[in-house]
Amino acid sequence: PNVLLLGPPGAGKGTQSVNVAEEYDVPHITTGDALRANKDMETEYGTPREFMEAGELVPDPVVNEIVAEALSGGEGYVLDGYPRNTEQAEYLADITALDVVCLLAVSESEIIKRLTGRRVCKECGANYHVEFNPPKEEGVCDECGGELIQRKDDTEDTVKERIRVYHESTEPMVEYYREAGVLEEIDGDGTPEEVWAELRETIDAAI
Ligand code: AP5
Ligand code: ZN
């Protein structure tokens, strides 16, 4: 299937994309991870780092190119973190057709708790939470033994700016998909297992 996971920062897109990729055997395409891996790349707009650390969107041409390349091979995917505004959604519509767009809805207080407590593995990118999903040993990745760190954009002030950008730029795009008739809303406030159960049912019903 061609799946898009949408939602505010901290909605659980990354966490649930891993489940989708495994269940349907499709690649997980995430602009956030791709940009973090290339954050010092020089572009005509500057480096991705400058935008990301401020909680702003990286300019469309930079992310569009990343996605066009990632989608060029194979069939099926789960997209996470792209598109993020209507311009990107229109660009995407020219290169591929989505089967289902799943919106993970979460409350703002939950977002702040999730993101300020998130820790990620420096080596393999695995995701943890100090309270909701702690590693077996504090500060150490269960998967690979790598060091767990806090993302630079997960401080409270930057999280608030990311939420503001979501309301301003991404919410109008949600309406674009609602009008196109492909949008499904999922309650993202439950446990990861509860969210996954609802998400899987929704994808199965759409394909
Ligand atoms: P990106 O990396 O995409 O960040 P984001 O959209 O803000 O999303 P997050 O990764 O913060 O959250 P998530 O929804 O994946 O949640 P997660 O599963 O980790 O983008 C970062 C930056 O890159 C942007 O600000 C922008 O600058 C740039 N960028 C990226 N794409 C771009 C684009 N298309 N255009 C322009 N710029 C772009 O979960 C969060 C935490 O909660 C974790 O600790 C997790 O363990 C925990 N958790 C997850 N689910 C649950 C649950 N159900 N209950 C309790 N805890 C949970
Ligand atoms: Zn790791």
Q: Could you identify the residue written with the tokens 């509860």?
A: 194
Residue 151 appears among annotated catalytic residues:
yes
Residue 114 appears among annotated catalytic residues:
no
Annotated binding residue at 31? yes
In this predicted structure, what is the pLDDT of residue 73? 78
Single pTM value for the model: 0.94
Would you say residue 174 has pLDDT above 80? yes
Q: What secondary structure does DSSP assign to the chain, as a single string?
A: -EEEEE-STTSSHHHHHHHHHHHHT--EEEHHHHHHHTTT--BTTB-HHHHHHHTPPPPHHHHHHHHHHHTSSSS-EEEES---SHHHHHHHHHH---SEEEEEE--HHHHHHHHHTEEEETTT--EEETTTB--SSTTB-TTT-PBEE--GGGSHHHHHHHHHHIIIIIHHHHHHHHHHT-EEEEE-SS-HHHHHHHHHHHHHHH-
In this predicted structure, what is the pLDDT of residue 72? 87
Mean pLDDT of the chain: 95
Residue 19 CA from chain centroid, whole number: 13
54 Cα nearest atom in ligand 1: 27
In this predicted structure, what is the pLDDT of residue 48? 97
In this predicted structure, what is the pLDDT of residue 74? 75
Q: In the chain, what percentage of residues exceed pLDDT 70?
A: 100
Would you say residue 149 has pLDDT above 90? yes
Q: Could you identify the residue written with the tokens 């100090």?
A: 130
In this predicted structure, what is the pLDDT of residue 158? 95
Give tens-digit pLDDT for 68-102: 999 987 789 999 999 999 999 999 999 999 999 99
Among protein residues, the one whose CA lies closest to atom 20 of ligand 1: 32
Pick the catalytic residue: 113, 151, 178, 200?
151
